[in-house]
Amino acid sequence: MKRVHLIASGKFHDIDFARLELLKLFAERPEIRATVAVDYRDHALIAACDLLVTYTCDMIPDDADVAVLREWMAQGGRWLALHGTNSILRFAENGRVETPDEAPDFMALLGSQFIGHPPIGPFKVQVTRGDHPVTQGLRAFNVIDELYLVRRTAELDVLLHTGFSGACPDFGDMRVTDADVPVLYQRTLGEGAVLYCTLGHCRGHYDLAPIRPFNPHPDRCAWNYPIFHEILRRGIAWGLRA
C-alpha cells in the first residue's frame, strides 16, 4: 500500500475540477490510498505519506507547516507540486497583480516563486533532460496554458522548459525575456525532492468572483492534452518510486 496525500485549495482556479482529475489518476493505481485536505495543517498525514501532491493558488503554509514539510522531505519525502503551489497574489487598487516575497522559507523549499504570466496562449515546451523517469522518451510539444514565469529560489534540475519574451499586462506590464523558463523541474533536499510542474491552469464560470462575477469560457488548458496526463502519471510513479 502507498499513501498519497492531496492538498487542493486556493483562489481563482477550478479546484474541484483539478481535485477530481487527480483523484482519477490515483484510482488507476490500486496500491494507492489517498487522503485529501485543503491546507497543510494535518502534519500527521504529511509525515505518513509516501507522496504529497499539491494543487493550490495563493495558499501558503505557516512556519510550523513549513518545518514539517522540510523535515519530511529531508527524510525522503517526495512532493509533486502543481501549477500555482508557488504563488502569492495581492491585488493593488489600480488592478495590478503583485507577487510579493512574503514566504521566503516556503519558496526556498519549493525552489521557485511565481512572478507572473502573459495571457493564456500557445507555447512550445522543450525537453531539457530526456534521461529522467518523467521525461524519458518525451518530445517537444505545444500547449495552450498559462506560461508561468518564476524566480528561482534554489538550485533546480530543469527537465522541461520553454522560452518567453514579452509583457505580462496583468502584472504591471512586467516585461520578461528568458529563453530557459522552467516548466518541469526537480529540486532535491536531503533524501527527498520536489517535482514541480507549472502546467495545469483551470478555471470555471465562477472562479474569478468577485473580480469577474461570471467567466463565460471555462479554461481547461493543459488538462485537455494527453501529454499532461502522461506527465502527471509519471510524476505519481516517480513519487511512489514505482
DSSP-assigned letters across all residues of 214-238: --SS-B-GGGG-HHHHHHHHHHHHH
Please report the pLDDT score of residue 96 as a whole number: 87
Q: Which residue has the cell 474569478?
A: 208
With beta carbons less than 8 A apart as the criterion, state whether 8 and 15 touch: yes
In a domain, 234, yes or no: yes
Q: What is the mean pLDDT of residues 76-102?
A: 93
In a domain, 138, yes or no: no
In a domain, 164, yes or no: no
CATH of the domain at 42: 3.40.50.880
Domains: count for the chain: 1
Q: What is the mean pLDDT of residues 134-156?
A: 98
N- to C-terminal Cα separation, the chain: 12
SS3 (DSSP) at 104: helix
| Percent of the chain whose predicted confidence (pLDDT) is above 90 | 94
SS3 (DSSP) at 171: helix
In a domain, 223, yes or no: yes
Per-residue pLDDT tens over the stretch 29-48: 999 999 999 999 999 999 99
What are residue 180's phi and psi, to 5 degrees? -135, 65
Please report the pLDDT score of residue 221 as a whole number: 98
Please report the pLDDT score of residue 94 as a whole number: 75
Q: Is the pLDDT of residue 1 over 80?
A: yes
**Calpha distance 219→225 (Å, rounded):** 13
Please report the pLDDT score of residue 172 as a whole number: 86
In a domain, 172, yes or no: no
Q: Is the pLDDT of residue 212 over 90?
A: no
> pTM of the full predicted structure?
0.98
Please report the pLDDT score of residue 115 as a whole number: 97
**Calpha distance 222→117 (Å, rounded):** 15
Question: Vertex 229, ends 233 and 13: CA angle to 5°?
Answer: 115
| Percent of the chain whose predicted confidence (pLDDT) is above 70 | 100
In a domain, 141, yes or no: no
Per-residue pLDDT tens over the stretch 42-82: 999 999 999 999 999 999 999 999 999 999 999 999 999 99
Q: Which domain holds residue 99?
A: 2-115+152-158+183-240
In a domain, 129, yes or no: no
Q: Which amino acid is at 179?
A: A
Q: Is the pLDDT of residue 210 over 80?
A: yes
In a domain, 96, yes or no: yes
Please report the pLDDT score of residue 93 as a whole number: 76
Residues in the chain: 242
Please report the pLDDT score of residue 101 as a whole number: 96
Please report the pLDDT score of residue 152 as a whole number: 98
